[in-house]
Amino acid sequence: MRFYNQPHQFYCGIDLHARTLYLCVLDQAGTTRLHKEIPAEPAALLEALAPFRDGLVIAAECMFAWYWLSDLCADQGIPFVLGHALAMKAIHGGKAKNDKIDAHKIAVLLRGGMLPQAYVYPKGMRETRDLLRRRMFLVHKRAEAITHVQNTNSQYNLPPFGKKLVYAANRAELAVAERFTDPSVRRTVEVDLDLVDHLDESIAELERYLTRTAKVDDVQTYERLRTIRGVGPILALVLLYEIHDIRRFETVGQFLSYARLVRPDHESAGKKKGFGNKKIGNAHLKWAFSEAVCLLLRGNPPAQRWQARRDKKHGKGKTLAILAAKLARAVYHMLRRKEAFDAGKFWSN
């Protein structure tokens, strides 16, 4: 975990909400210079902070409405620090809690160099990353609709479908009227299938747009990621936009931790005391590397031999976790050195 420890003349902590915000400004001595609630509007914030603009730094906890505040600070040349929500125990663990107290705590942590930082994803590629995450939401909804059709079929003990419904041609051949005789049940299935067809079109259009955008944003990194066996267009997009800039990770260990690929052990006096919070990190990167290793093993004799040797010692589940971390290390060094994936070197280690 990284902490912001740069010296400034004024430290502003903001408890941010969708329509209002509570701000607290401290000076270098820790004296409260401003403590008030204002509307969550750029003009109101700049007016309130006008007397403290020289040497000012602003911090806010990571929540859904931080984009506009970060962009405003970037436009105005004000340093902005995004607090890591899961690591800010001092905010959530107090006996009393309200907006005024939270704003003051953020300012105190910022002044004391103890504010845990989250990554401030800059404007530009951030919007495309959010659209890519929305595509994943639509994919999940599509899977839910297909699963509901299969569950409905099982509810009435009907024969299993002969072909996979994920493919449009197989759904077109499905005789819904003959299989589901009850009008309401038939209508339920038809609604699900119509939704799947519509989502297919929307997802395909989104994927075309995202691929074109990636080739504009960073075509070299996108194509470099595609050199990994099993990493297709979607996984390359996820890796590209979730990593963004590999230089923000000083070590490969930081990258593995961010991707949730290392176990967060707790230790005291030489004894293990359990595990840390596994949710701290990027769930999308965890998913991408987990999917990539499964595709990497498919039809790949060197990879399967590597897996077979380690399955005997670790078991299948742990071996896949080890391989995911191994692939993440390779990706880190690939992007750092701006090199393509070297399968021979990868499997020789």
The whole-number pLDDT of residue 276 equals: 66
**Beta-strand pair 10-16/20-27:** antiparallel
The dihedral over CA atoms of 95, 99, 104, 108, expressed in degrees to the nearest 10, equals 70
Q: Are 57 and 10 in contact (CB under 8 A)?
A: yes
The whole-number pLDDT of residue 274 equals: 66
- The model's pLDDT over 185-210, given as tens digits with 9 standing for 90+, comes to 999 999 999 999 999 999 999 999 99
Inter-residue long-range contacts of 112-116, CB under 8 Å, 24+ positions, other chains counted: 113/3, 113/4, 113/5, 114/3, 114/90, 115/3, 115/4, 115/59, 115/81, 115/83, 115/88, 116/1, 116/2, 116/3, 116/83, 116/84, 116/87, 116/88
232 Cβ partners below 8 Å, 6+ apart? Answer: 226, 295
184: tokens are 């309401």
The whole-number pLDDT of residue 155 equals: 94
245: tokens are 């800039």
The whole-number pLDDT of residue 347 equals: 86
The whole-number pLDDT of residue 277 equals: 67
Q: Are 190 and 176 in contact (CB under 8 A)?
A: yes
Q: What's the CA gap between 226 and 340, in Å, rounded?
A: 9
Domain boundaries, the chain: 3-118, 126-226, 233-348
331: tokens are 């990706």
The dihedral over CA atoms of 308, 311, 317, 323, expressed in degrees to the nearest 10, equals -60
User: Which string of b and e fits 120-140 if b means at least 16 CB within 10 Å?
Assistant: bbeeebbebbeebeebeeeee
Please state which CATH number belongs to domain 3-118.
Answer: 3.30.420.10
Helix (H, G, I), strand (E, B) or coil at 61: strand
Q: How far is CA 212 from CA 208, 217, 223, 224, in A?
A: 6, 9, 12, 16
234 Cβ partners below 8 Å, 6+ apart? Answer: 207
Which parts of the chain sit beneath pLDDT 50?
Answer: none
Q: What is the pTM of this model?
A: 0.90
User: Which string of b and e fits 258-294 if b means at least 16 CB within 10 Å?
Assistant: bbbbbeeeeeeeeeeeeeeeeebbbebbbbbbbbbbe
Q: What's the CA gap between 139 and 133, in Å, rounded?
A: 10
Beta strands in 109-212, from DSSP E residues, in sequence order: 115-118
Q: What's the CA gap between 22 and 15, in Å, rounded?
A: 5
